[in-house]
């Protein structure tokens, strides 16, 4: 918690019981809290993001990935590792997933071409260790299969060197766009809005000062044609009403700059309104 709303919807659709484990925008999932939950509940599997978390942007350190895998191995609990943004790192090295530490075939490493080729493809994959056969059977029962011609086209493309050079260009573009966004946000937003920079992926996580609401900001911004993702979208409870996620994967242009100014003005308005009600 917080978590990608698609994962929350899947939990609901399959009528699963889930326990939310606190996740920090800088350090990732709280492993002590996870350990406690493993002790207290009959947990069957974990779903989480170890790299470039959606919505927080954080990445679990290598030491913590080791601790995570060792802990889950000890309890015999499988890990569904959602690594859709793993290839979209800033800097020189891809952060390895927890799957790289998996000696017992307990980690289901999931990713997709939606984020680094084209959202419309809707083709992904899972490296599922000894669960692979079962997953194939379940997929056949639920969706038959993804489009075969599309899969063949992607396979052919991957066999060339174009994918690697495409990824290199995309990583660079995303890094530059995020840098431009950060500069602009730091220039215009009130100083007491906290920004959590990330080293990869599409997103930035922001925290408003106490007393403000990102849900109210969402509606006010929408009226001006600006879309933010309010924190409440990422929880089944009602936490994170002071937080929101910004998608900064788009080319940064004058329109984005103006939108940040509008957001800043809306936040200032909320701050003023709060001070008035206090008086
Ligand atoms: C964390 C996370 N997992 C999974 C997905 C879904 O990927 P796809 O579009 O390939 O279904 C997304 C897309 O937004 C995502 O952000």
* pLDDT tens digit sequence for 63-90: 999 999 999 999 999 999 999 999 999 9
pLDDT of residue 37: 98
Is the CATH number 3.40.640.10 carried by domain 5-158?
Answer: yes
User: In this structure, how many other beta carbons lie within 10 angstroms of the beta carbon of residue 162?
Assistant: 10
The band of 279, judged by pLDDT with boundaries at 50, 70 and 90, is: low
Q: Which atom of ligand 1 is nearest to the CA of 54?
A: 1
Is the CB of residue 110 below 6 angstroms from any atom belonging to ligand 1? no
pLDDT for 26 beyond 80: yes
209, 256, 262, 273 from 268: Cα distances, Å: 11, 18, 10, 9
pLDDT of residue 121: 80
Exposed e or buried b per residue across 119-152, where buried means at least 16 C-beta atoms within 10 angstroms of its C-beta: eebebeebbbbebeeeeeeeeeeeeeeeeeeeee
pLDDT of residue 55: 98
Q: Which atom of ligand 1 is nearest to the CA of 122?
A: 10
* Chain mean position to CA 54: 1
Is the CB of residue 23 below 6 angstroms from any atom belonging to ligand 1? no
pLDDT of residue 173: 97
Distance 118 CA to ligand 1 centre (A): 12
Integer Cα distance of 99 and 35 in angstroms: 19
Distance 265 CA to ligand 1 centre (A): 32
Integer Cα distance of 265 and 271 in angstroms: 10
User: What H or E segment, with its residue span, contains residue 148?
Assistant: helix 148-158
Contact (CB, 8 A) for 196 and 57: yes
Integer Cα distance of 236 and 8 in angstroms: 7
pLDDT of residue 277: 80
Is the CB of residue 82 below 6 angstroms from any atom belonging to ligand 1? yes
pLDDT of residue 8: 96
Q: Which part of the chain is CATH 3.90.1150.10?
A: 164-278
Q: Which atom of ligand 1 is nearest to the CA of 123?
A: 10
* Chain mean position to CA 26: 13
Overall residue count recorded for the chain in this entry = 279
pLDDT for 256 beyond 70: yes
pLDDT of residue 5: 96
31, 57, 180, 250 from 194: Cα distances, Å: 24, 14, 17, 21
- In this structure, the residue with its CA closest to atom 4 of ligand 1 is 84
Distance 4 CA to ligand 1 centre (A): 8
* Chain mean position to CA 266: 26
Give 71's contacts (C-beta < 8 A, 6+ positions apart): 31, 34, 35, 38
Distance 253 CA to ligand 1 centre (A): 26
The band of 169, judged by pLDDT with boundaries at 50, 70 and 90, is: very high
Percent of the chain with pLDDT over 70: 100
Where do we find the tokens 């379940």? 138
Distance 193 CA to ligand 1 centre (A): 28
Is the CATH number 3.40.50.300 carried by domain 164-278?
Answer: no
The band of 158, judged by pLDDT with boundaries at 50, 70 and 90, is: very high
Q: Which part of the chain is CATH 3.40.640.10?
A: 5-158
Give 77's contacts (C-beta < 8 A, 6+ positions apart): 38, 43, 44, 45, 46, 106
Distance 51 CA to ligand 1 centre (A): 13
Q: Which atom of ligand 1 is nearest to the CA of 82?
A: 3
pLDDT for 143 beyond 80: no
pLDDT of residue 84: 97
pLDDT for 275 beyond 90: no
């Amino acid at each position: 918690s917080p978590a990608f709303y698609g994962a929350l919807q899947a939990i609901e659709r399959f009528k699963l019981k889930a326990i939310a484990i606190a996740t920090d925008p800088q350090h990732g999932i709280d492993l002590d809290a996870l350990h406690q939950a493993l002790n207290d509940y009959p947990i069957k599997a974990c779903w989480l993001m170890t790299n470039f978390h959606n919505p927080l942007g954080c990445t679990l350190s290598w030491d913590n990935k080791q601790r995570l895998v060792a802990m889950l191995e000890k309890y015999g609990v499988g890990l569904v590792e959602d690594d859709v943004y793993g290839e979209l790192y800033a800097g020189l090295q891809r952060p390895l997933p927890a799957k790289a530490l998996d000696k017992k075939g307990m980690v289901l490493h999931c990713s997709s071409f939606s984020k680094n080729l084209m959202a419309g493809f809707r083709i992904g994959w899972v490296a599922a260790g000894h669960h692979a056969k079962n997953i194939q059977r379940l997929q056949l029962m639920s969706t038959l299969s993804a489009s075969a011609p599309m899969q063949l086209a992607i396979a052919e493309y991957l066999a060339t060197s174009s994918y690697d050079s495409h990824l290199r260009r995309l990583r660079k573009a995303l890094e530059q766009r995020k840098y431009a966004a950060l500069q602009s946000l730091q220039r215009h937003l009130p100083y007491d809005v906290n920004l959590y920079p990330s080293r990869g992926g599409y997103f930035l996580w922001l925290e408003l000062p106490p007393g403000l609401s990102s849900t109210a900001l969402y509606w006010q911004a929408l009226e001006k044609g600006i879309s933010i993702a309010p924190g409440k979208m990422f929880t089944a409870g009602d936490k994170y009403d002071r937080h929101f996620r910004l998608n900064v994967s788009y080319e940064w242009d004058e329109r984005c700059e103006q939108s940040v100014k509008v957001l800043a003005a809306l936040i200032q308005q909320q701050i003023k309104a709060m001070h008035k009600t206090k008086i």
